Amino acid sequence: MSTVIMSAPSDEQAAMQHYLVCGTEDCQKNGQFYCNDCHRPLCERCRDEHVKNPDTKFHEIVHYRLRKHQLPVEKCKLHPTRNVDIFCKECKVAICSKCSTMKEHHRHEFDDLEEIYIEKYALQQDEFSKIQKYFLPTTQGLKLDIEADVTKIQKLMESIRTSMKAEAESLKNLVDEVSSDSIEDTHIMEKTLLKMLKSEETTYDDYIAYLGKMSDEFQQHLSLENQKILFSEILKIKTIPETTKPVAPVFTAGQFSKHDVAQLLGRVIVSNAEPKKRKIQPIVAVTTYMKSTVKQLGQSKEKSDVKQTPSLSSSATNVREYSVLGVDSVWHVSVDKSGRLWVSDWRGNLVQTDLQGNQLQKIQTSGREEGYHRATQDRDLIYTDKHKREIYRITLDKKITDFIKTGDWEPLSLQSSRINGDILVGMIKDKEAKVTRYNKVGKDIQNIQRDNQGQGLYSDPHHITENINGDICTSDYKKRAVLVVNKSGQHRFSYRGQGSGFYPWGICTDVLGHILVYDSYSNTVHLLDQDGGFLSVILSPQEGITSPRGVCVDDENNLYVGQRDTNTVTVYKYLQ
């Protein structure tokens, strides 16, 4: 495979393109076909001439991606002038054609080593594709899942610690309250006991006073003047009043331990439940097209004059690139029928570029990362001004005209129908969102806002496209889903990715009804069937993309991918 880099000689800053070059001498066109007999790429014109040439008309010509890889050159050890190209089935060794005539291989059966190599190469390529399209993305998804679990566990444990501290503080407050009540009870007990002792003390004070009085009377009786009284009266002394000793309260220390306190507080318990295994996406969906490709490699040559229905390739191939001047990133891409690009970045710059990457026009818009512009069937461009709540049209003569006013609704995303030319607009107002259909002249003819249960269907319809069956496919970042309704507005299905995370961005459809959507969570482009079934990951970081955002497919089944951190638009072939 040869690759050439071409640039416009008149402008050193013009964008550079990369593509496969035809193997015919002095031909610099795109070599999208391949001759398996000559082992060289061919452009469409050279392929037609190859078929017409009597010397090569029976050669096997296929699409480049279905080519038979040429057998590596290996010299025979016994016959150094010959290449090893035969496999002896009896001896299980690779030999040259001259070796096959030797007596050691008499009457042995031989196979074409190149055919064996092609088959083995296809099988190895299949395994390699599995690594790129299944094992690596799936493992990276599991790793991201683990990282999400790490964050989740950290937050959970911090929440548990906060709860434990709050519970301990609550217990401390209860202890303080009980202790305070008990101390107050001791003050009451003390007051009662002291009052009783004071009363008994008063009793003895009164008795002492009584004894003093009685002593005085005795003195009087004993005097000479009162001797007669002594014989007539006998003084009696009252008994000492009885009192009781107070019963002193006894403090009984609480009988508790650290374990008792732990029983009062909550505990963290590790569950004995069986851990659930992480969900691993089965490989069946990924390998289906790999197997079909291996089968195709062994089929007869394709007739050059028969136009076949496109089919999926085993992998996406980078066929060219554009470096677009005037933008610092590529968040959305539109392609018109002439192949010219409209590219926008997150700053609102909207640039049109030709096939060489030269800037044709540039305007400033209010759009940012949304899919807010789209080429129409008439080769015009329509784009939104969400601040003015209006949709504008740019004609071929670069004239900008008012097209649709959206009232109170802020337009985000646009799609021009390839079926009937209708305009589909994703828009928001306050916390509501909807998709509105306008006809070619800008008349409102349909509003889609709620699902089959009457609930709000959309939240952030920032990219929108239409499938070949009339389905309206919307990429809703806040809902983390691709939402699909039929042409009547009835909700058909929602696609939410293959793992724990899915943040859809750019979305488009192709001639086979596939839905292609970029997932910013895993930096991959997912390929879905018409009913939302996951088929495969057709682009991942292994293909050299890092942060794709805008995706679209042109009339030649080329996939255009714009990236967030570069002004480069990369074109891939994924259909053949």
pLDDT in tens, 278-322: 888 776 544 443 344 444 444 433 433 344 557 677 678 888 888
Mean pLDDT of the chain: 83
Mean pLDDT calculated for residue range 57-82: 87
**Do 146 and 57 share a domain, yes or no?**
no
**DSSP state, residue 240:** P
Question: Does residue 87 form part of some domain?
Answer: no
**DSSP state, residue 226:** G
Task: List, in order, residues 6 or more apart from 281 with CB less than 8 Å away.
Answer: 134, 138, 141, 498, 499, 534
Question: Does residue 17 form part of some domain?
Answer: yes
HSE-CB for 533 with a 13 A CA cutoff: 8
Could you list the beta-strand ranges (E) of 258-331. 312-323
HSE-CB for 255 with a 13 A CA cutoff: 1
**Do 378 and 489 share a domain, yes or no?**
yes
CA torsion 548-562-318-414 (nearest 10°) is: 110
Q: What is the pTM of this model?
A: 0.49
What pLDDT is stored for residue 511 in this prediction?
86
**Do 345 and 236 share a domain, yes or no?**
no
**Do 334 and 476 share a domain, yes or no?**
yes
Please say which residue of 209, 235, 264 terminates a domain.
264
**Do 182 and 57 share a domain, yes or no?**
no
**Do 351 and 448 share a domain, yes or no?**
yes
What pLDDT is stored for residue 290 in this prediction?
39
Mean pLDDT calculated for residue range 543-561: 84
pLDDT at 453 over 50: yes
Please say which residue of 21, 40, 66 terminates a domain.
66
More confident residue, 419 or 19: 419
**Do 398 and 471 share a domain, yes or no?**
yes
Contact 478, 459 (CB under 8 A): yes
Question: Does residue 84 form part of some domain?
Answer: no
Question: Does residue 501 form part of some domain?
Answer: yes
d(CA 19, CA 35): 18
CA 318 centroid distance within chain: 24
Task: Give the rounded percent of residues in the chain with a pLDDT score beyond 70.
Answer: 89
Contact 458, 474 (CB under 8 A): yes
**Do 500 and 414 share a domain, yes or no?**
yes
Q: Which residues of 280-301 are buried (b: 16+ CB within 10 A; e: fewer)?
A: ebeeebbbebbeebbebbeeee
More confident residue, 382 or 234: 382
More confident residue, 6 or 136: 136
115 pLDDT band, cuts 50/70/90, is: confident
Task: List, in order, residues 6 or more apart from 244 with CB less than 8 Å away.
Answer: 200
What pLDDT is stored for residue 19 in this prediction?
53
The DSSP-derived string for 53-95 is STTTTTS-EEEGGGPPPPPPP-B-SS-TTSB--EEETTTTEEE
What pLDDT is stored for residue 567 in this prediction?
85
Task: List, in order, residues 6 or more apart from 199 with CB less than 8 Å away.
Answer: none
Mean pLDDT calculated for residue range 134-145: 84
Question: Does residue 434 form part of some domain?
Answer: yes
Question: Does residue 22 form part of some domain?
Answer: yes
* Structural domains of the chain, count: 3
**Do 384 and 495 share a domain, yes or no?**
yes
Please say which residue of 32, 66, 100 terminates a domain.
66
d(CA 263, CA 278): 36
Question: Does residue 361 form part of some domain?
Answer: yes
How confident is the model over 179-230, as pLDDT tens digits? 999 999 999 999 999 999 999 999 999 999 999 988 888 877 676 566 666 6
574 pLDDT band, cuts 50/70/90, is: confident
26: domain CATH number? 3.30.160
Ranking 137-151, 152-166, 542-556 by mean pLDDT, the lowest is 542-556
205: containing domain:
141-248+257-264
User: Phi/psi of residue 131, each to 5°?
Assistant: -60, -45
**Do 385 and 469 share a domain, yes or no?**
yes
| Most confident range, picked from 35-49, 120-134, 355-369, 542-556 | 35-49
User: Phi/psi of residue 30, each to 5°?
Assistant: -70, 120
pLDDT at 41 over 50: yes
By CB atoms closer than 10 A (0-12, 13-18, 19+), residue 497 is buried
9 pLDDT band, cuts 50/70/90, is: very low
Question: Does residue 279 form part of some domain?
Answer: no
The DSSP-derived string for 84-133 is --EEETTTTEEE-TTGGGSGGGTT--EEEHHHHHHHHHHHHHHHHHHIII
More confident residue, 10 or 161: 161
More confident residue, 254 or 480: 480
**Do 391 and 534 share a domain, yes or no?**
yes
User: Phi/psi of residue 425, each to 5°?
Assistant: -130, 125
